[in-house]
Amino acid sequence: MARKMLIDGELDKPSEKDTHFDFDLFVIGAGSGGVRASRFSAQYGAKVGICELPFHPISTEVVGGVGGTCVIRGCVPKKILVYGASFGSELEDARSYGWELNERIDFNWKKLLHKKTEEIVRLNGIYKRLLANAGVKLFEGEGKVVGPNEVELIQLDGTKISYSAKHILIATGSRAQRPAIQGQELAITSDEALSLEELPKRAIVLGGGYIAVEFASIWCGMGATVDLFFRKELPLRGFDDEVRAVVARNLEGRGVNVHPRTTLTELVKTEDGIKVRTDHGEELLADVVLFATGRAPNTKRLNLEAVGVELDKNGAVKVDDYSRTNIPTIWAIGDVTDRMNLTPVALMEGTYFAKTVFGGQPSKPDYSNVPCAVFCIPPLSVVGLSEEQAIEQANGDVLVFTSTFNPMKNTISGRQEKTVMKLVVDGETDKVLGASMCGPDAAEIMQGIAVALKCGATKAQFDSTVGIHPSAAEEFVTMRSVTRRIAAGKPKTNL
C-alpha cells in the first residue's frame, strides 16, 4: 500500500521531476526487457534514455548491441540454425514420399551464417526504430551506475557523460560462462557457436541444459559428428523426467553420441584438432568444443557495489516482487536478476515495471504456468508442473495421462521416433497442473495449452474440446484413460 501511494505521488508531480532529472528513467541494456520497459514507460509519458554497447554477434564486456541476447545471440539466431538443421532430416523423409533427390545434397554453412547475420542486423535496426518511434533516447556506450539517481555513460570515443534519472533500470542480461577446465580457452560458448567461420565436422558439447541439446541437434542435423557430455543421468534437469528420457532417446536416434554422467577434464590443442579427455579417461578429437555450462548475470562492470545494490551469491541483482532493488530508485529485470531466464518473462517484467512505476498500477509479474520450449530436434515444450513437481506439491492424488505415438508423417517416412505427450492432473480438483510434449511442433502446440492451464482449466474441459483431425495436438484433448494414479500421502521430506 505504501508503495502504491509513493508511486501515485510520483505520477502526480510530473513538473517536479522534469526540473530535477535529465530523465524519468534511464535504462542500462537494450535487450528484450530493457527495450520493452523503455517503450512502455515512454508510452506512459515518461522521458526515457537507454544505453547499449556497440553491436557485435559475440558479446564481451564492451560489445553487445540493441536487441540483446535474444535477437543477436540467443533465441532468434538459434532458431534460424534449428530451421537450417531441420531440413537435413526433412530431406531424408522426403524420399519415402516419392521425391527423387541426389545422393549428395550440399549444405553451405557460410551462406546460412551470412543470412543469419543479415537477419539479426535487420532486427537490430527494427529494435532501434521501435525505441526511436516511442521517443526513447538511445545512447551507444557503456553505462555505469554512479549514484541512486545518476548514470555515467562511457561513449565509444572514451568520453564520459553523466545523466541524472529519477529511476534507473538495470537490464544488462547475462553471458555464457566457461567452467574451469584445463585448456578451457580452446573451447567456445554459444555466442561463438552461432558465428563459427566453418561448420565443424566433429563437435563436442559439454552441458545438459537446453543450450547444449539445441546445439547438439543443430550440428547433428547439419551432418557433423556430435558427442554430448553431461553430468546427470539425463539431460535437461528440471524438466519432467519422462520427457527428459525421450529427448535423450531422440538425440541418440538422430545420431548424437550421448555420454551421460561424464564430464571433460582437459582440452589440448593438437595438429588434428582439439583433444578432449573425459573423467572416464576417454580421449576424443574435435574441431569444436562447446561449453554450454550455464550463464552468469552481467553485473561486474556496472559499479553496483559503489551505490550499494545487493547481489545474490551468483552475482544476480536482488529484487523484490516488483523488480525493485534494495535502492528504491534502482530496478532490475531480465536475466540480470536470474529469476526465470526467458525472453517473454523479461518482456513481462519490463511491462510490469513500466506499469508499476509510470502507469500508476503496481503490478507483480506472475511466474506460474510460464510455458517454455527447448528447440532440440524434435522440440520439447512444457507448461506448469512436471510429474515430479506435481507429486511433491499436490495434496491429493495425482493423475498422469500419457500418450506415446508415431506421428502420421513417420508412417510413410519410416522415421523411428515417437512423439510423447503428458498431462498431469490434480485428482481432487480435476485441474490440469502440467503439460509436456516432445515431438514435432511441440512449441507451437503448447502455447494454446498454456492459456488453458494459466486459467485453471480442468481435465474435463480438455476432454470436452473436440479434436482437430488429423493433427498431433488433438492427442491432448483425447487422452481418455489415466496412465497412472499416484496416491496422496506419499512421504514428503519436510513434514
Partner 1 sequence: MAASLGTPKLSSPTFQNLCKKCKFPIKPFSSFSHYNKPNHFGSFNSFSHPPTRSYCRRFTTRADSTNVAEPPRKYDFDLFTIGAGSGGVRASRFAANFGASVAVCELPFATVSSDSTGGVGGTCVLRGCVPKKLLVYASKYSHEFEESCGFGWNYAAEPEHDWSTLIANKNAEIQRLAGIYKNTLKNAGVALIEGRGKIVDPHTVDVDGKIYSAKNILISVGGRPFIPDIPGSEYAIDSDAALDLPSKPRKIAIVGGGYIAVEFAGIFNGLKSDVHVFIRQKKVLRGFDEEIRDFVGEQMLLRGIEFHTEESPQAIIKSSDGSLSLKTNKGTIDGFSHIMFATGRKPNTKNLGLETVGVKLTENGAIEVDEYSQTSVPSIWAVGDVTDRINLTPVALMEGGALAKTLFANKPTKPEYSAVPSAVFSQPPIAQVGLTEEQAIKEYGDVDVHTANFRPLKATLSGLPDRIFMKLIVCAKTNKVIGLHMCGEDSPEIIQGFAVAVKAGLTKADFDATVGIHPTAAEELVTMRTPTRKVRRTPSEGKTDSEIKSTAGV
Nearer to partner 1, 293 or 341 (CB): 341
Are 164 and 23 in contact, with CB atoms under 8 Å apart?
Answer: yes
Residue 41 CB, nearest approach to partner 1 (Å): 13
**Helix (H) or strand (E) run with residue 88 in it:** helix 75-96
Residue 407 CB, nearest approach to partner 1 (Å): 10
Q: Is 456 annotated as ligand-binding?
A: no
Residues involved in catalysis: 469
Residue 418 CB, nearest approach to partner 1 (Å): 16
Q: Is 174 annotated as ligand-binding?
A: yes
Residue owning grid cell 560462462? 177
Q: Is 363 annotated as ligand-binding?
A: no
38-55 b/e with 16+ CB inside 10 Å = b? bbbbbebebbbbbbbbeb
**Kind of pairing between the strands at 257-259 and 225-229:** parallel
Are 101 and 94 in contact, with CB atoms under 8 Å apart?
Answer: yes
**Kind of pairing between the strands at 202-206 and 160-170:** unpaired
Q: What span, in angstroms and rounded, lies between the C-alpha atoms of 289 and 182?
A: 13
**Kind of pairing between the strands at 202-206 and 283-286:** unpaired
Nearer to partner 1, 183 or 223 (CB): 223
Cβ count near 22 (within 10 Å): 18
For the chain, the farthest-separated pair of C-alpha atoms sits apart, in whole angstroms, at 73
Residue 362 CB, nearest approach to partner 1 (Å): 17
Q: Is 213 annotated as ligand-binding?
A: yes
Q: Is 13 annotated as ligand-binding?
A: no
Phi/psi class of residue 350: alpha, beta or left (left: φ > 0; alpha: ψ in -120 to 50)? alpha
Nearer to partner 1, 289 or 425 (CB): 425
407 upstream amide cis, omega within 30 of 0: no
Q: Is 209 annotated as ligand-binding?
A: yes
Q: Is 207 annotated as ligand-binding?
A: yes
Nearer to partner 1, 74 or 297 (CB): 74
- The beta-strand segments (E) located in 376-495 are 380-384, 398-405, 419-426, 432-438, 484-486
Residue 409 CB, nearest approach to partner 1 (Å): 5
Annotated binding site: 79, 143, 172-174, 207-214, 294, 335
Binding residue positions for NAD(+): 207-214, 294
- In the annotated binding site for FAD, the residues are 79, 143, 172-174, 335
